[in-house]
Structure formats: C-alpha cells, structure tokens
Chains A and B, each alone.
Chain A
Amino acid sequence: MTATDPAKAASRPVRVSIDPSIAPPGTRNFRDAGGIPADQWHADQNGETLVPTHCCFCGVQCGMYLRVDKGGKVFGVEPRNHDINRMRLCPKGINAYQQVNHPDRLTAPLMRRSRDEEFKECSWDEALDFTVSEIRRIQEAHGNDAFGLLGGASLFSEKTYLVGKFARVALKTKHVDYNGRLCMVSAAGANKLAFGIDRAGNPFSDILLTDCLLIAGSNVGECFPVMTQYLWGARDRGASLIVIDPRETAIARTADIHVALKPGTDSAFFNAVLNVVIAEGLTDEAYIAANTTGWEEVKKTVAEYPPSRSAEICGVPASQIVQVARVFAGADKAMAWHARGIEHHSQGVENCLSVINLCVATGHIGKPGAGYGTITGQGNGQGGREHGQKSDLLPGGRSITNPEHRKQICQIWGIEESELPGAGTSMMEMVWQMQRGEIRGLIGICNNPFVSLPNYAVVKDGYDTAEFHAQFDFFLSETAANAHVVFPVTTWAEDEGVMANAEARVVKHNKAQEPPAGVRTDTWVICELARRLGAGKHFDFPGSREVFEELRVASAGTVNDYYGITYDRLDETGGIVWPCPSTEHPGTPRLFEDGRTYHPDGKIHMQVVEWHPPMDAYTEEYPLSLTTGRTVAHFLSGNQTRRLGALVEQTPRPWVEVHPSHGFRNGEPVRVVTRRGSEVFPALVTEAIRPDTVFIPYHWPVPTAANALTIDALDPRSKIPEYKVCAARIEAAERVDEVPAPPTPPGREAYPEAQVSRTDPLPPTSPQGRGTAERS
C-alpha cells in the first residue's frame, strides 16, 4: 500500500466504536487540563484511581497523575495535561513513583548512641526522646547556637516554613540553612539587588513568544528536559537560540550560536557583549533613562571589557561575542534564562548581574516574550527560600536583620522580639563551624551533604566532629548512614503541600497513598520535637493545610505574597503565580510590566560587575578546568534516584568527559587529580567538550564523587560554593573506582535493581555517554 488515496479511503472507511465504560486503566481523565478537586477522584472499573499531583524532582514541576490501585497503593504514573508540561515527562518523573513502595524505604527510626555502634531500629518515642535530650545537653553546655538545623528545597513550602520556625522558636538557634544554598542563591542575590524581588521575571510560556533566546550555563536538555519543548517551540516560530556552555549539550548541538567558553569566565563574556551593544548603539536608552539607576557606572566598567580582551579570558573568538551582541540586542523580543552553570561560582552573583545588565540595557524586560529568568534546580528551589528556611530570611522573604520585619513575624508567632535569633551562617560555613566545634549538634532534613557539598574530606570531618547528628529521610542516604538518629519520613506522594516552580508558580501536590506503617510526615516529626522541647503551643499543626494557613498570613503584605493562594484555588486552577495579595487576585505571571520593580524607588538598580579569576589557580601542575553537573537520569545527590532500576540502568555510574586531544581511549581509567584529592573514572572521549576542560557528573558518593575533588570556595555575597570550576590534571590509571552500593538499614540487603551493571567499566550510553571519538 502506498500513500493514502482519499478516494480509496472513503471506499474502505474505518469505523471505530468506543465504549467509554470499558476504557482501559489510566485513560479516563486523559483530557483534563487542570487539576481535579479531590472529591471528584473516582476509581474506574478496575478499582484504579488517578491522583493529580506533580513531580518531586526539578524546578519545572511537571503535572502528573499517580495511579493508585484498589489497595490504595501507588503503582504507576499517567501523563497529565497540566499547563506547565502539557503531558510531557522526563525519565526521572516517569520513574519517580517507584520510590513510594520501594523495598529500601526506612520504616522504623534508627538509633545509636555513638558512631562506633551499629544502627538499631527503635520506637518513635525512644528516637524523639534521645534527640531532645541531646539537644538540651548541647544547648545547656554550649549555648543555643551550638545546635544547627539544615533543611532542604525538596520539602513542601509548608515544611520549609516549619523548619525556619522550629529553628528560631523551638531550638532558639540562629543556625538554620538549607540546601538551596548550593542551588540558586546567587541568582536570588542578584535578583534582589537588581529588582528587589527574588524570582524569574517571566513564565515559561513567554519563551514561545520570543525572537531570541539566550540560555547561559544550563544543560536544559538533561536537567530540565521538559522545558525543552518551550525552546523548540520558540525555534519553530523562527527564534534564534544562543547557548553559553563549555560543553556541546543537547540544546547547544543545534543552537544558532554555541559559545563554548572556559568555565569561570561568564561575567567577562557578558561584560564584553554589553560593551559591543553599547559600541554599536543597540542599547534602549529611553528604557534605561526611565527605569534604571547605576547605568553610567556600568557603562564605565564594561568599557574595560572590549571583545578582544574577553575573547582571551573566555577562550572564544571575539567575533562570537560581537555576534551574540548583535543577535540578542537586535531582536525585537529577547529572553535570557540561566541556571547553575553561571551561579556555582565564587562570582556567581556577579555573573547573574552581568546577564541582568545585558537584558536591562537592551530593554528586554517585563514584556511578553522579553525578560529574564532563573531555572530553579530543586522542585521547591524557589519556594524553599521564601518562608524562613534560609539563614538570613524570615517568612515572606523578610530580612532577619530588619527590626520592622522581625516585629511583624514575632507578632504572628506570638513570641518576644528579644527571643528571635539573628542571622546565621550558610550551609558550607556551618560545616566549617562543626569542624571547629562551634556547632556541636545538627538535625538534617531531607538533604545529603556527603554527596552534594564540595570538598568531601572537610564535610566528613565536620559531621564526624559533631557530637550529635539526626537526619530525616525516606531512604538511608550516605549522610543519614553517618548519623546517630534517622527518622523515617514520607515521600512526596504520601503527604500534601505546595511547591513553587521556576516561574514562581505555586502548585499543589496531593496525597496519593497512606505512608507505610512506622513512617510519619516531616510535619509531625518537627511538631513532636517542638512539643517535647516545650514549644508545643507554637506548633499545633495537624497537617500541611493548617501550616499553609499560617504561612499565607505570615507572607501577607510582603513581596512574596501568598495570601490570596488557598488549597481550594490551587485545586481549581492548577497553579497560581505569587505575588497574589487577595483571594480574587489571578496571580502575577509576568513581573515589571508597568516598569516598576520592588525597590522603594521602583527602579532597576544596575550593578557594576568586575570579573576575577576563579579561586582555584591554574598552574603547570593543575592546568585543566574541572567542571561538574548533572545527568538526565539522576537527581542531585542521587539519594532518590540511585535505587530506581530503570534510572540506574540508564546511567549506572559516573565518568570523566575528556577531549580526544588528551590521547585517552574510550572507557580507559583516567585519574582526575585536584588539590583536594584524586579519583579514577572511565574516560568518555568526546569532541563535545573544550580541550582545556573535563567534566564529571556529581550524583554519586565517594569513591566516585565529583565533590571529593571540588573546591569549597564560596561567593562572598551568596555563599554558594564554586562547584563549576577548579584546577585539575588528568593522568592514566590502572583501574576505575567502583560505585559503592547504596546504604541500607540494618538486616536488609541492598535492593538488587540498584546493583545493575555497577562495575561496568564502560561509560553508559546516556545523553552524555556518547561512545567514542575513535574512528574504527
């Protein structure tokens, strides 16, 4: 049969009869565009229910349905036509449901009185009482600030609010921070400085309207795959795509301009682009004059960055800098999105400011299809820092050093202002303080610093020095395996709560199943600890819903205004973008449309940006740049993904990506040496990386941890570690280091699915595992 012939088709019509009552499982609610209110979740004829929720992983926050069987257990996933992702999912999202009833789940508290002992399962009372007695002992002997709390940005916003409140009201310590400190605080700091508000300026849907899209330091295809549909949608309309990345990533492969600059030189590059924009008269002077301050100083600084100078610093042709300037500034509507690639630096804030300066100088701000955005790494990377989990912030993005803000929060919490601690230190600094014995006890909630913090030796030493360490998690993470007490808590599918995605859209996750016996929600554990510490009256929260009501009130009238967002509205709409000051307010998807920012003067404060070399100096001994990043199959420290068979099979182990000019063959063991240590990885020989740069994905623990090699240098303003560049050398080695089995509770073998091809010496065929550059 050849091409369809309409005449023939008409003579042999296909008549389909569909009886909806016998629709196969999972197809019934297929065309629902938004959420479905909980009272309308019905089981189909197979006893299967679809529960609308969102993915637990990255900042795109794709909508999905969880398939729940007759017995009330989550057993699968079904695509959901939600505004954000329109049915799309990435491999992490598709396999996420496998966490929920995974055999490795922690189902009873684990406890030991010293690190020399083995873990024993114990009752909740024992674990809570021991934790409380240790908190009391340490705080009585060394002061309240000797106990710290580290939260996470994979927690629902309600829980992040509780973490901040628990630290300041129950523990009365200033030492609280969260792992978003490793994620996007540089962008947060830059946004606050420039705009007075900390979030992306435009929704994803604006990408479809733009004429020029600049993506800086973001491997969208692997770290935020579902966002790619917006990129390609823009290109379908003829938009040009500029990608700034030392590696030729999947989105860089077909980009109009791919600038493969040397890691750690971003601000020099963007300053030079702005230099060209000014020289060629492409600035939007009217917009600048009406809406900004600081332009003259910025102009003076970028005059020092002609393309010839920056080309040398960045290792790219000067002509490319000119090209980027002309394409970006010449477009009717242009957008810049960036992620960790420019933020994970000792000059992360400056890098983000240089991108903002470029957008503002060309007038590409606050219009449909023109603006600026940060792609948040963690599911609640945005919401995680809005409600008091960060060391210097109180709920609603209030500053902990501002007397007025302190007074407002103390009134809501019903405590005296004198009782409210001041600003604490950042996550990495807290580890240093543990090393020095200033912080002697720590509770970690849903984070895994043993894999995710830089310079592992220091991290391990800090945690080992601490006298007491408790950890909340649902799998035994590498960090939890080092603790005294581990509390088994719920996965995202066993509790309800909200998260804010990269567009600052607040979405609601729904509870799909009851937690396994012996497992409690983080909310319950925090409130129970508070009760035993004598602060019970401030923590009378049966569940997330009640916490959210307090959070709404606590954020009312601030920049991060959640007051108009309610659970019922979220169920109906499928997501509302803050600020949303009243229950009638539709939310604010696009900022600065009226030209006003959130500074008191309403102007954009342009900031002077100077480039300086990365902290880790290149020498003859360490001539290469080591950069780190993610792969599509795993998420951050890998604790949630390294046990799911399909994802382990897709990317079983890390590798080191090297250019063919180094003379290695594919799969050969290569030792990567930095000033912090050395590890051996299989080589992935590819032309898709700069010759002076090597790359290692960081999801695995030692001895295959990229973060055993990275430097713990911090950005002075945002305190983000410099993950993305350190000096290294590579040399031939005997055999590769093998990935250790994930830790398991006492008496349990590691789940076999997580063992797939663990010792496979060859690089995997994942998007970055692209075989070999040898022509056979």
Chain B
Amino acid sequence: MMGRTIFIDPGRCIGCQACVSACRECDSHRGKSMIHLDYTEPGMSVASLPSVCMHCEDPVAPCAEVCPADAILVTADGVVQQADTTRCIGCSNCVNACPFGIPKIDLQAKLQMKCNLCYDRTAYGLAPMCATVCPTGALFYGTLEELQAERPGVQVADSFVFGDVVVQTGVAMVVPADKVQWPVPGGLPVVEINGRDVR
C-alpha cells in the first residue's frame, strides 16, 4: 500500500453522506454501512465529519487487543480487519475498547462489523469506496506526499490523546496549519509490486 491511507479533512466535509451510501455498496459487507457521519456542533453549525476506522497502530488496535476470540486480525500493511466471522462471538469487547466508537455489533447475527479499509479494493491498489466517491475530498486516500501535492501546505495529525493515553493511528486527520504536525505512518510502505520497485 506504499503507506497509503485515508486522510480525513473535516473542513471539506459537506455532510452529504455519499461515503455512508458508498460503504453499503462495498462488496465485503454489502447493504451495511460501516461509516457514521457525526455533527460536531448540532444547531450551532453545519459542521460534520465522517468517522471511519482509524486503523490504530500504537497501542496496536485496542479492539484487537481486547478480543477474547482473537477474531480481529491486523494485516502486514497495518489494516485492522473486521472480525473473522468464524471466530467472533459477538461479545462487544471491541465496541467498548475502541476510543473512536467505530465497531458495531450486528445483534441478529451476533457478529462484529466495522470498516476494513475496503480490503477487497485496497489490496489491488484501488481506493476504498468512501474515499473514491467523496465529492469534496474530505476523505482522501493516498500517501501523505500525494495529499500535499494536491493540497499545498496541508498539515496532518495521527495522534489522539484520550486522558493520559496517546493513540497513534494509521488513518490521519487534517488539522489547522498552526497545530503540531505528527508523522503519518499509515502502515508499512509497499516497496514492490509484481517485482517492480515502486519506492
């Protein structure tokens, strides 16, 4: 994935929910959307932002750490997968552990479901459905260099502070330029595709 990841820019979001609809079309969980659209100041402002899985890196995916069934697996390129249906017991530990409120339990199926960065697409070098369709670029998929080439001077952060715990994520958030910039890991870089060096 060449360190490719999602960048969320709430400043560009228009709250249209194209990402929510597109997520339903993703073939790995067709008909169910894994994205939530949140309003930051209801009634005061139209500000909104999409919440996708942040694919935490440090501590390694809190949801996976607390899973008693080892159902949530992290790929070599840093994508935190949704629960393996053959293992998940629907206990909701991951729901409680996630600091971003991402995983959801399908109560009927007793299975956890969450964003898996459209692994069926990203594994082939395509962008996830949500970032593909986002009309505004509030969800951007690519490398930090690609983002900065498209939007000169953009600053991003990938560290979130919850009380005295700092969570570093694979997905990064665009922040105002006067904020401290954190490096963006976004998983291990892909250095080779079909024998071709892509560094």
Contacts and interface: CB of A to CB of B under 8 A. Distances in A.
Interface of A: 1-4, 9-10, 12-18, 23-27, 30, 76-77, 79, 85, 87-91, 93-95, 221-222, 225-229, 232, 236, 248-251, 253-254, 632-633, 646, 650, 660, 666, 685-688, 765-768, 770-774
Interface in B83-118: none
B16 A18 contact: no
Contact of A94 (B14, B121, B133, B182): B133
Contact of A13 (B46, B58, B191): B191
Contact of B191 (A3, A14, A687): A14
Interface in B126-184: 126-127, 129, 132-137, 150-152, 168, 182-184
Interface string B1-37: 1010000000111111110111011010000000001
B57 to A, nearest CB: 5
A458 B78 CA distance: 62
A632 B19 CA distance: 13
A375 to B, nearest CB: 14
Q: Interface SS of chain A: helix, strand, loop or mixed? A: loop
B14 A773 contact: no
Given A30-B126, A221-B14, A771-B39, A232 B137 contact: yes
Contact of B193 (A9, A18, A24): A18
Contact of A767 (B14, B125, B137, B188): B14
18 contacts: A1-B60, A2-B58, A3-B184, A3-B185, A4-B189, A14-B190, A17-B193, A27-B126, A79-B129, A91-B16, A221-B15, A222-B14, A226-B135, A229-B135, A250-B15, A633-B17, A767-B15, A770-B45
Given A250-B46, A632-B16, A15 B39 contact: no
Interface string B38-62: 0100111111100000000110100
A675 B178 CA distance: 53
Contact of B124 (A27, A227, A251): A27
A94 B13 CA distance: 18
B58 A1 contact: yes
Contacts of B18: 88-91, 93-94, 225
Interface core residue of B14, B48, B123, B135 (most chain A CB under 10 Å): B135
Given A23-B124, A248-B45, A253-B47, A4 B186 contact: yes
Contacts of B25: 76-77, 94
B188 A88 contact: no
A89 B133 contact: yes
A604 to B, nearest CB: 33
Q: 4 nearest interchain CB pairs?
A: A771-B42, A773-B43, A221-B14, A3-B183
B70 interface: no
Contact of A228 (B47, B127, B136): B136
A687 B47 CA distance: 12
A225 B191 contact: no
Given A12-B188, A632-B16, A646-B21, A686 B134 contact: no
Contacts of A93: 18
What is the size category of the interface that chain B forms with chain A?
35 or more
A1 B57 contact: yes
B45 A765 contact: no
A596 to B, nearest CB: 35
Contacts of B17: 91, 632-633, 650, 766-767
Contacts of B151: 236
Given A2-B168, A253-B46, A232 B124 contact: no
Nearest to A646: B21
B46 A767 contact: yes
B39 to A, nearest CB: 5
A16 B192 contact: yes
Contacts of A766: 15, 17
Given A16-B193, A767-B16, 14 more contacts: A1-B78, A2-B58, A3-B182, A9-B188, A12-B188, A16-B192, A18-B125, A26-B27, A89-B18, A91-B18, A228-B136, A688-B45, A767-B17, A772-B42
B188 A4 contact: yes
Contacts of A666: 43
A15 B14 contact: no
A254 B11 contact: yes
Nearest to B152: A236
B136 A225 contact: yes
B14 A250 contact: yes
A16 B190 contact: yes
A26 B127 CA distance: 12
B134 to A, nearest CB: 7
Contacts of B132: 79, 87-88
Contacts of A14: 1, 76-77, 188-192
Given A4-B185, A646-B21, A686-B43, A18 B136 contact: no
Contacts of A225: 14, 16, 18, 135-136
B135 A88 contact: yes
A685 to B, nearest CB: 6
Task: Choose among B12, B152, B168, B186 the residue with the greatest number of A CB atoms under 10 Å from its CB.
Answer: B12
Contacts of A226: 135
Contacts of A768: 46
B135 A17 contact: no
Contact of A774 (B12, B43, B120): B43
A229 B135 CA distance: 6
A488 B188 CA distance: 55
